Chain A
Amino acid sequence: DVKVTQSSRYLVKRTGEKVFLECVQDMDHENMFWYRQDPGLGLRLIYFSYDVKMKEKGDIPEGYSVSREKKERFSLILESASTNQTSMYLCASSKTGEGYGYTFGSGTRLTVV
């Protein structure tokens, strides 16, 4: 069964900490994405990547960075966690081309205290 795996289901971090969220996919997909999902705001794109070592800013990149050193792995980094980054973080991957939907990981619920 093809999968997108996120390293943690729940995380609690302190304000100011550096936080790493890991995502691995086993489908050989070119594209990977990080979203956050908040009640009433839906899914918002943070960063995405079309290829190894390549990254593009999404709609809300401030306070985040990403790393894609290998095709299967896409990491989201919160440089200095803040309480307004408390959210559900969802990683997704897809093949390149029209008509290909996303496969999502099960999400990481991050709480910053």
Chain B
Amino acid sequence: RKEVEQDPGPFNVPEGATVAFNCTYSNSASQSFFWYRQDCRKEPKLLMSVYSSGNEDGRFTAQLNRASQYISLLIRDSKLSDSATYLCAVTSNTGGFKTIFGAGTRLFVKA
């Protein structure tokens, strides 16, 4: 079983739709959680950290469920420019303080 798993998609949604991604992790000692966005042929860029209480940044909402060991990302009112691959990332202090990335979920937003 992979340490961090995501549905690879692709998710095809119309503009204005709400879309949600989930990401599960296996290490219960994980400490920090993130969502990254990666455009085609570009490097990943930090989208937002995920806090235990949940957090929101404009149209984006991230949540953490430690009991079930998953994080989620909700995108409201999707824009064409949201089309990208979304990577979840989990940091733990097991075997060194390092971050494991999911393989990413592809999102296509269509007009």
Which residues of A does B touch, CB under 8 Å? 31, 33, 35, 40-43, 45, 48, 50, 56, 58, 90, 98-107
11 residue pairs of the A-B complex, CB under 8 angstroms, read A31-B97, A35-B101, A40-B103, A43-B101, A45-B99, A56-B96, A99-B49, A101-B46, A102-B99, A106-B42, A107-B43
Q: How far is the CA of A76 from the CA of B7 in the complex (A)?
A: 31
User: Does B62 belong to the interface (CB within 8 Å)?
Assistant: no
Residues of B within 8 A of A (CB-CB), count: 22
Q: Give the residue of B32, B36, B43, B103 whose beta carbon is less than 8 angstroms from that of A99.
A: B32
B-side interface mostly: strand
What per-residue 1/0 map shows which CB atoms of B11-45 lie under 8 Å from chain A? 00000000000000000000110101000001111
B96 and A48 contacting across the interface, CB-CB below 8 Å: yes
User: Does B73 belong to the interface (CB within 8 Å)?
Assistant: no
Closest chain-B Cβ to A21's Cβ sits at a distance in Å of 14
Known: A45-B98, A50-B97, A99-B32. A104 touches B44 (CB 8 A): yes
7 closest pairs, A vs B, by CB?
Answer: A42-B103, A101-B46, A104-B43, A43-B101, A98-B32, A101-B34, A56-B96
What residues of B have a CB within 8 angstroms of the CB of A50 in the complex? 97
B96 and A102 contacting across the interface, CB-CB below 8 Å: no
